[in-house]
Structure 1
């Protein structure tokens, strides 16, 4: 049997997936997430904050123990938006390599989106027939990826420099944000979407992957505790997204923290993530289908091949 692991280090969280391939197929052994806010202040300073690096390295220490305990043979560590932007990323690379024995790869947004597209579509296809063309959306902390295609091989799209952390830090300074701040953020988001080249009228299916989409679905489902099985494949309508976005933008962070499924490290930025999803929803003719399968699944599939 072959055991492999994928680590996805984004602007807001670092995630791990360990899987095993054997005679019976691929089996998931461990999947976990730690919110580290690696992108803290990167949009403003162009550098990783020392506290953000310390949090990320602590998470890597935890993951190193998991990899050793499970006897993982191959690891791929990818870093996305924040690492693409930070001037002191060498310190990040060195710290990760010291702890995990693997050098981080800073992958372009295009590859990030294609991996997410492949993971989401493969999982959805396994559940049943999926109408094409498909749009896969990944709203991260620093960027948003949008890919459209009939399948992973033909999918094309963009990586936009807007994410929940970036929008919150750049525009939504108040708690809760003011109407003026929301209007400014909305105009910025709309400008990027309008210039993206995406034909939002085309998709017959819209998938959302990543922490923003899954967090919003858990709120709509009114889950008392996060349930991955219920979130995966959940459908969220445009009306539900619009209403939830307005609510989250009107609440202070202290109120958002009272949501049972809300991770503390996501509470202050989920309003910005919801605003991005809302502006995309208002352009699409189909509801959002949330997928728990994403870039990690795509990375693992590649390692096992």
Structure 2
């Protein structure tokens, strides 16, 4: 694996290239390995592990040694998978935890030394645009305005998209406003508590996020919202809500990605989650013990977004930064304009 895979030159044989995208967030380490296909790309391998890299970051301002160790072990798995699949082009990004930590640079150096991977700390604007690249295909083409949001572990990105969905190259032109809030499920849960969450403490979380959202809401107040306006969400929070709504016996991406939910259905699920104990949340197959203390913080961020941007519909995306990275890498290599008929 080259030292800086995201700086590799484009492959001369895009139809046989294998690409990788890694997203290291405050809570999760996620990898996708894919090959181009006629309608996008075909995933050939994937990896996801909750590492909680940003655990305690809000209080200390530093990444903890235990969290660093967990994360480096996960990254070693990712490297092995990329090597096994013969990845030729990759981009490996780190987001809010590494941006915010005083020892973020030291962590990147340790990853280089111990896992032999070069992570790129991206800024918030890049993170927002990658979320757009990964999810915008799910926006209703009839809507003149769509609010896309990504609730992360340490930050949450919101993007206002104008106009109908177009070709890949037109995506950036649709972004009219964007913001990145310095709050995510990990940071909010650590401040307010995530195990025992009363309706009063939940409301305090919502109000905190509403205050952060106020300027962005004012900025987009004059934008057009036709009757097709909707929210488009990507994150563990919204996919969890979808899974609970569908009463899935185990999480199934095929049933969740692209699902439309009515506003009343979202409200019902959040009420159900608020009524559950921690043990009940942990026992739910679409939540699990590793996320049971975070899901209500995510719901509070979602509730603040719903209050600021009322919409009858929410579309769920089980896709995001990794898919955006893959789309941008493959587009830069011209894989959809060269020998299209030979893709599997």
Structure 1 length-normalised TM: 0.91
What displacement does 1:32 show?
2.6
Q: Where do 5+ consecutive residues of structure 1 fail to align?
A: none
- Give the match's secondary structure for 2:251: coil
Alignment-derived partner of residue 63 in structure 1: 78
- 265, 275, 284: which one pairs with 2:310? 284
Number of aligned positions between the proteins: 301
Alignment-derived partner of residue 302 in structure 1: 328
- 70, 94, 103: which one pairs with 2:109? 94
Question: What is the 5 A alignment of 1:1-305?
Answer: 1-21=16-36, 26-122=41-137, 124=138, 129-150=141-162, 152-154=171-173, 155=175, 156-172=177-193, 175-197=195-217, 199=220, 202-203=224-225, 204-282=229-307, 283-304=309-330, 305=332
What displacement does 1:179 show?
4.3
Contact 1:80–1:112 (Cα < 8 Å) also in 2: yes
Contact 1:133–1:148 (Cα < 8 Å) also in 2: yes
Contact 2:97–2:104 (Cα < 8 Å) also in 1: no
- Give the match's secondary structure for 2:118: coil
What displacement does 1:184 show?
2.4
Work out the CA distance in 2 between the residues paired with 1:31 and 1:131. Answer: 32
Contact 2:53–2:68 (Cα < 8 Å) also in 1: yes
What displacement does 1:25 show?
5.7
| Distance of aligned partners of 1:210 and 1:106 in 2 relative to their CA distance in 1, 3 Å threshold | same
What displacement does 1:180 show?
4.2
Runs of 4+, deviation exceeding 6 Å: none
What displacement does 1:286 show?
3.0
- Give the match's secondary structure for 1:111: helix
Work out the CA distance in 1 between the residues paired with 2:40 and 2:150. Answer: 27
- Give the match's secondary structure for 2:53: coil
Structure 2 length-normalised TM: 0.81
What displacement does 1:284 show?
1.8
Work out the CA distance in 2 between the residues paired with 1:120 and 1:130. Answer: 16
Work out the CA distance in 2 between the residues paired with 1:161 and 1:105. Answer: 19
Contact 2:72–2:115 (Cα < 8 Å) also in 1: no
- Give the match's secondary structure for 1:196: helix
Bigger Cα Rg: 2
Q: State the Cα RMSD in Å.
A: 2.1
What displacement does 1:267 show?
1.3
Work out the CA distance in 1 between the residues paired with 2:158 and 2:141. Answer: 21
